[in-house]
Structure 1
Amino acid sequence: MKIIISKQNRIVAGSQSWASIRKLHRHLLSTNNAGLDRIFSGKEIVKATNNFSKSNLLGFGGFGEVFKGDLDDGTTVAVKRAKLGNEKSIYQIVNEVQILCQVSHKNLVKLLGCCIELDMPILVYEYVPNGTLHEHVYSNGTYEPLPWRRRLMIAHQTAQGLAYLHSSASPPIYHRDVKLSNILLDENLDVKVADFGLSRLGVSDVSHVTTCAQGTLGYLDPEYYLNFQLTDKSDVYSFGVVLFELLTCKKAIDFNRDEEDVNLVVFLRKALREGRLEEMIDPVMLKGATEVEMESMKELGVLAERCVKETRQSRPTMKAAAKEIESILNGLLLLRRE
């Protein structure tokens, strides 16, 4: 495999030695080609994370670990460390730098800087203290259940962040891994969309075409299996799955369901066709729900179903989805004021 930098200063994967990839990463960040605000020293990062202690571990995935860090100036940060010896991990870290340095939106996590002195690439982000949406929806008592209006607000803010990537960034950016665990919540339960390791710029070349699986099972655009491309409408599909999860508190993939119902989209499409959506809604939200609130839940269910249409042309844009959720939310807020 070889890694090259295109005219747009993007990274394109090929085959190269581990040492060469590390050298490329160091060159990009040490020359600050990415336009980062700050380059942290290795000493700062080790001290902030207590030498990456397990007690500071916030989470981990296939390509790295995230630790809580406390800087000397009192700022709390999130520190992402690439996986030792994993070439894809380095590629994703550098890709995330390239993406996040081009965007700024209140519902996207902010990249503060990086560190190039340690054995593995380090990214430093703003700290988002209230965990992931996945942890809230499937908390098993760890968090209080999210009320319906808050779920709608979370859906709207997520849609706004993604719509910004698709419609306001130039060139457009496709997230390509929208899911509950990549939606962070701050101290006010406001959204910060995170994890841009799989993201790509929406330009007309072959860099976004791959025969390797991208995204997450249950959220992945079914058209990906036809042409191996993920687009803005792929994000819309994934967002539709998020909406279904917010409505039902049922997981995108659950092997405890009947075989034909393992995939949540398939399961809920059938329920919608048979007029049984109300049966699928999270019982916590149904308890004490007004008629208007029930209607708004059904409206969001219909929007979610449009977002997960099998053909991309049949799905709304993220901008249109955001406006529709805003309309549903405004209807509830108006009722509340009355």
Structure 2
Amino acid sequence: MEEWWGNKTTARATGSFSPSRLLGKGSHGSVYKGILEENQLVAIKKSSNSSGHVSNDNSKKLENEICVLSSLRESPYVINFLGTTHDDDHDSACKEKNRLLVLEFMPNGSLYDLLHADVNPPSWPKRVEIAIQIARAIQSLHEGKPLIGRLGWQILDLLCCAWSHHRVPDLDQTQPAGTIGYLDPCYTTPGKLSTKNDVFSYGVVLLEIISCQKVIDVSRLPASMVDWAVPLIEKQKLMEICDSRIALPPFMEGTIKHLLYVASRCVSCKEENRPSMSEIVSGMDQNCLAGRVKIPSWSSLMWSVILMRRPRKFPKAMA
């Protein structure tokens, strides 16, 4: 059941949208940490048009975002959409302009923080479980009704922007959102967006989970992680890709090898060579060994959007 809050309430909850409460900022808005009555923690998204003129286009984008989030309420992989706000005055224009989204707050930090921690980097089983959770989340979005090709956050922001820069979910279905290195080079025009664009982005994130390398690093040749990793995969030099801070146990080698080959297919320059998310998930179920973990919220926002809420069992890795 969608709830409603007055904007004065959310202003108090965020300390009048204090910079100290800012969790993340994206191309379509900012997300703040809020504390409602009874100390309920929430994430409050303030659209970039909340302080300016509201066009019919912006209004439709907001309604689209609400519609998409509402349709995902039953997904075990996506953060809960709690409701929206209404302006405390009765000016319809102001009401539309200042409408905010209230979402579930997830306190555990970003996936980037987890991977790049100075101490205690995530174990290999935990990384595999994170990769599986992300894959299942995207699969559920791709196979949902209505189909969500990019949840951006769309999916691309979910996978990309939030990953490195604490972006927020931008649900505009017509504009690409992303950072260099994550955005599919096959994407050319808004009308040609497809689920294969998301598959490319997933492949990039998969490489980042395994390597802990920056997606774009000018001190590395080549600077692009994809251009750096794919040739190593083709040459079977897989250990040169793996995060060297922690040893890869022998029983995990088959699993990581499988994930690296999945990543190489995902980032293929030819869309038709990329697997579907259902194919990726099916292959992981057969070849990946991982413990059950909960991944921290990824970006401030979705802080991520992917949280394991159901126990799952995965078959042992192939020898």
Interval containing the TM-score (normalised by the shorter chain):
0.7 to 0.9
Q: CA-to-partner distance for each residue in 1:23-72, whole Å, 9 max, x for gaps?
A: xxxxxxxxxxxxx7012111210121121122222122232221111111
Shift of 1:150: 0.8
Please name the residue that 2:44 is paired with. Answer: 79
Q: Tell me: CA distance 1:248–1:105, structure 2 relative to 1, closer, same or farther (3 Å).
A: same
1:248 paired residue among 194, 211, 215: 211
CA contact (8 A) 1:182 1:195 kept: yes
Q: Tell me: CA distance 1:64–1:196, structure 2 relative to 1, closer, same or farther (3 Å).
A: closer
How far apart are the structure 1 equivalents of 2:245 and 2:257? 15
1:299 counterpart = 2:275 = no
1:69 counterpart = 2:34 = yes
How far apart are the structure 1 equivalents of 2:220 and 2:275? 29
Q: CA-to-partner distance for each residue in 1:240-296, whole Å, 9 max, x for gaps?
A: 1110000100122222222xx1111111111112222211210123x2x32221222
Please name the residue that 1:265 is paired with. Answer: 226
Q: What pairs up with 1:133-212 in 2 under 5 angstroms?
A: 133-139=111-117, 141=118, 144-167=120-143, 169-175=144-150, 176-177=155-156, 178-182=158-162, 195-198=168-171, 200=173, 208=174
Letter of the aligned partner of 1:223 in structure 2? C
How far apart are the structure 1 equivalents of 2:179 and 2:249? 35
Shift of 1:227: 8.1
Letter of the aligned partner of 2:149 in structure 1? Y
1:277 paired residue among 232, 238, 245: 238
The unaligned stretches of length 5 or more in structure 2 are 88-94, 292-313
1:238 paired residue among 201, 208, 216: 201
Letter of the aligned partner of 1:71 in structure 2? L
> Over the residues paired in the alignment, what is the CA RMSD in angstroms?
2.8
Same amino acid, percent of matched pairs = 29
CA contact (8 A) 2:255 2:287 kept: yes
CA contact (8 A) 1:57 1:66 kept: yes
SS at 2:39's partner residue? coil
**TM-score, length of structure 1 as denominator length:** 0.73
1:97 counterpart = 2:72 = no
CA contact (8 A) 1:96 1:196 kept: no
**TM-score, length of structure 2 as denominator length:** 0.77
SS at 2:193's partner residue? coil
1:131 paired residue among 98, 101, 109: 109
Count of paired positions: 275
Which structure is higher in RCO with an 8 Å CA cutoff and minimum separation 6?
A: 2
Shift of 1:181: 5.0
How far apart are the structure 1 equivalents of 2:21 and 2:190? 41
CA contact (8 A) 1:100 1:196 kept: no
Q: Tell me: CA distance 1:214–1:277, structure 2 relative to 1, closer, same or farther (3 Å).
A: same
Q: What pairs up with 1:33-52 in 2 under 5 angstroms?
A: 37-52=2-17
Q: Tell me: CA distance 1:335–1:235, structure 2 relative to 1, closer, same or farther (3 Å).
A: closer
Q: Tell me: CA distance 1:52–1:310, structure 2 relative to 1, closer, same or farther (3 Å).
A: same
CA contact (8 A) 1:38 1:114 kept: yes
SS at 1:173's partner residue? coil
SS at 2:17's partner residue? coil
How far apart are the structure 1 equivalents of 2:120 and 2:67? 36
CA contact (8 A) 2:287 2:316 kept: no
Q: Tell me: CA distance 1:174–1:300, structure 2 relative to 1, closer, same or farther (3 Å).
A: same
Q: CA-to-partner distance for each residue in 1:155-193, whole Å, 9 max, x for gaps?
A: 1111111101111x1121112414255469xxxxxxxxx
